[in-house]
Structure 1
Amino acid sequence: RHIALYYVPRVDVDMTLLAKTDHSTYCPFKGDASYYTIASGGEQAENATWSYESPFDEFAELGGWLGFYWDKLDHWFEEDEEVFIHARDPFVRCDILNSGRKVEIIAGGETIASTSRARFLFETGHQPRYYIPREDVAAETLMPSELRTGCPYKGTAHYHHIKAGGAVIEDAVWYYPEPLDEVARIGDYLCFYPEKVDAILVDGKKV
């Protein structure tokens, strides 16, 4: 799946900070792209921005606009809100539904979580996720992890290892201590990778 990209009008970019390079690429849909290195604040980001100066007719509207590599810049904002990982796709939704169905997590041959207060998260293009209140998970089975990952729609995820059945399952659980406003209802709820546990059961059926 392609991710969304921002293109910025050249007239809104301080071109004195950009230096054209010899690097170029070809896209069969848009044409030849020219590249620029950004010099700002005493640092350089090589080939961090590109432009289709003579795009194909189907993408003629990109002429005079610049694209930027996300990970070569320090921060990105939509209005006054910082955006993480990549631009948000306007066709992606995250719906959260409270559920009274019984959700159980089996790991290491043990039932380590059981709840009738889960929150089901449905994100466009992904399988449903089952978020469980922390107090409905056996605390002694959770071990802290240093892993952190980011999601442009939910925020920064923290992780736990699972200790069950005499084994440790690394980074099998994640949660968002400070989720983005749109998904605030999953704050500090725990979610489990189905491929890392024995089973996730919903009303007794494996999902």
Structure 2
Amino acid sequence: MASQGRLSVPLPDDVVYIEPHPRRVQAVRNGRTVIDAERALLMHRRHHPLTYVFPADTVIGIAAELEPHVPGHVVVPWGSVDTWIEEGRRLVHYPPNPYHRVDCRPTTRQLRVEVAGELLVDTSETIILFETALDPRLYAAPQLVRSDLLRPTATSSYCNYKGVATYWAAVVGDVVIEDVAWSYSDGRAGTITLQLVK
């Protein structure tokens, strides 16, 4: 993820930052737990995804690589296990970054989206989502969106911070625009918010 800020002095590419990560991290391979650790470390390196680093005695029955920056600790390649779990939540792609923020705030910023002459949404009752290194996004509650003009698509995506996104196509007469919006469940049955691509 590209940074939108800057440091007063550029960091060398070979700088490695390692910090305690006191969350419970588990890894499962072939139905068997091969890592169950509450003493993991996180290793930050430029141009690399975050990496878990484990005390060697917490990794059982799976190949691991010694981490030269942390004696007595090892790294397990992400793809060498079937499932990674942090505090009970299944992870995809990478460990969550403790410095990555996702903040949602009620706002009166206007969200207006029109497709083929039909208004999908036109409201100032929005939620703005600020997420580290990304542009702000406006979301609208489903009752404010012409959901009769939307249908779910086969597209989905996963974010370690927001969960699984469902994508929607706009259908106005013969006009179909795929993936014009996406939504995240907020944990309450049947309740979603939509972010519409402008």
TM-score between both structures, scaled by the size of structure 1: 0.64
* 2:94 counterpart residue number: 86
Match of 1:188 among 188, 192, 198: 192
When Rg is computed on C-alpha atoms for both structures, the one with the higher figure is: 1
* 1:50 counterpart residue number: 65
How far residue 73 of structure 1 moved from its aligned partner, in angstroms, is: 2.1
2:92 and 2:84 map into 1 onto residues whose CA distance is 7
CA contact (8 A) 1:88 1:152 kept: yes
How far residue 152 of structure 1 moved from its aligned partner, in angstroms, is: 0.3
- Structure 2: runs of 5+ lacking an equivalent: 2-47
Higher helix share: 1
CA distance 1:71–1:119, change in 2 (3 Å) = farther
Q: Greater shift after overlay, 124-133 or 138-147?
A: 138-147
Q: Is 1:95 the counterpart of 2:103 in the alignment?
A: yes
% identical equivalent positions: 29
How far residue 97 of structure 1 moved from its aligned partner, in angstroms, is: 0.7
How far residue 81 of structure 1 moved from its aligned partner, in angstroms, is: 3.6
* 1:158 counterpart residue number: 166
* 1:10 counterpart residue number: 56
CA distance 1:146–1:165, change in 2 (3 Å) = same
Provide, for residues 45-104 of structure 1, a one-character-per-residue CA deviation record: whole Å limited to 9, x for no partner.
Answer: xxxx4334xx3xxxx32x332223334422222233433432111111011010123321
Q: Secondary structure at the match of 2:161?
A: coil
- Structure 1: runs of 5+ lacking an equivalent: 19-35, 37-48, 194-199, 201-207
Q: Secondary structure at the match of 1:162?
A: strand
1:109 and 1:134 map into 2 onto residues whose CA distance is 20
Task: Output the aligned Cα RMSD.
Answer: 2.2
Q: Secondary structure at the match of 1:11?
A: helix
> For 1:49-128, what aligned pairs fall within 5 Å after superposition?
49-52=64-67, 55=68, 60-61=69-70, 63-128=71-136
Count residues with an aligned counterpart: 150
TM-score between both structures, scaled by the size of structure 2: 0.66
1:11 and 1:72 map into 2 onto residues whose CA distance is 18
CA contact (8 A) 1:105 1:113 kept: yes
1:102 and 1:64 map into 2 onto residues whose CA distance is 54
Q: Secondary structure at the match of 2:100?
A: coil
Q: Which structure has the higher relative contact order (CA within 8 Å, separation 6+)?
A: 1
Q: Is 1:146 the counterpart of 2:154 in the alignment?
A: yes
How far residue 178 of structure 1 moved from its aligned partner, in angstroms, is: 4.5
Q: Partner letter of residue 194 of structure 2?
A: L
Provide, for residues 77-136 of structure 1, a one-character-per-residue CA deviation record: whole Å limited to 9, x for no partner.
Answer: 223343343211111101101012332112334321112211000000001111111111
How far residue 165 of structure 1 moved from its aligned partner, in angstroms, is: 6.6
CA distance 1:12–1:117, change in 2 (3 Å) = same
